[in-house]
Amino acid sequence: MGPHAPGEQPKLPIPGVQNIIAIGSGKGGVGKSTVAVNLAISLAKLGNAVGLLDADVYGPNVPLMMGVRATPNAIGQRIQPLEAHGVRIMSMGFLNPGDKPLVWRGPMLNSVMQQFLRNVEWGNLDYLVIDLPPGTGDVQLTLIQTTPLTGAVVVTTPSDVSLEDARKAVHMFEQVREQVLGIVENMSYLEHGGEKIYVFGKGGGAKTAAQMKVPLLAEIPLDPKTREGGDSGRPIATLKEPNKQVALFEKLAKTVIEKAEATKQRQRPTITIAD
């Protein structure tokens, strides 16, 4: 987190949370929540204490994808997160279950997000992964302007429309002086009969990362098992047996850890000891 400008409110850390990773996208339909869920599970499988905040207030899909349908309890003023697959979870979907649309206005949503960040008993976490709403609107800006992120990951597909919106998302994080850890190109290709079929185009994620001067963190192919895992509440990252997609998400998790540690090293003040 960079220094705040004069007149800005300082970003308040969340007690016990070491790293906060925001997962954003310029538009919906790019598999942002799929990446967030499987990244969180992969981080936990690597031995980290992990939380997952589903801040996608208008389309909270994390409860379905993680297979959790309960209602959180409260102890005093502290909301107790639910847990699945080794990850502590909080989502608007727990408070607004079913398929009824959410019609709350911006100020109410911003208040709920702050409660989810600061009134949830997250405990000691190595990583809190935040699945942001798609786009670059008020909810996203308010959340990242009040929360000291370690860094952000922007998810896109290789299509030109998605890439254009991904650049807007990168700009959003940069404008509020948050480090973009890199871009994940999701739905990169489909493997069929040993051949790679580039359904949405080829190489767009790498090109956009180069243009924006940020790393390309991963290229995740289309995979029916990934979709099936999300729909069934057993994300693909939970598989025990060897699987190419599982290995890609584990590699992404290791890369995010590496980038996060490097970012924190740069953020630490240098202490000079005089002779």
Alpha-carbon torsion angle 96, 98, 99, 103, nearest 10: -10
pLDDT given at position 60: 86
Residue-wise pLDDT tens digits, 161-170: 888 999 999 9
Contact predicate 178/151, CB 8 Å? yes
pLDDT given at position 48: 98
Mean confidence (pLDDT) of the chain:
87
> 3-class DSSP state for residue 99?
coil
* Range name among 1-5, 148-152, 193-197 with the lowest pLDDT average: 1-5
- pLDDT above 90 for 26: no
pLDDT tier at 215, thresholds 50, 70, 90: very high
Say whether pTM exceeds 0.75: yes
* Strand-strand pairing, 216-222 and 125-131: unpaired
* Range name among 143-157, 237-251, 255-269 with the lowest pLDDT average: 255-269
Share of the chain above pLDDT 90, in %: 61
The fold for domain 17-262 equals Rossmann fold (3.40.50)
> 3-class DSSP state for residue 260?
helix
Domain borders along the chain are 17-262
Residue 76 Cα to chain centre, angstroms: 29
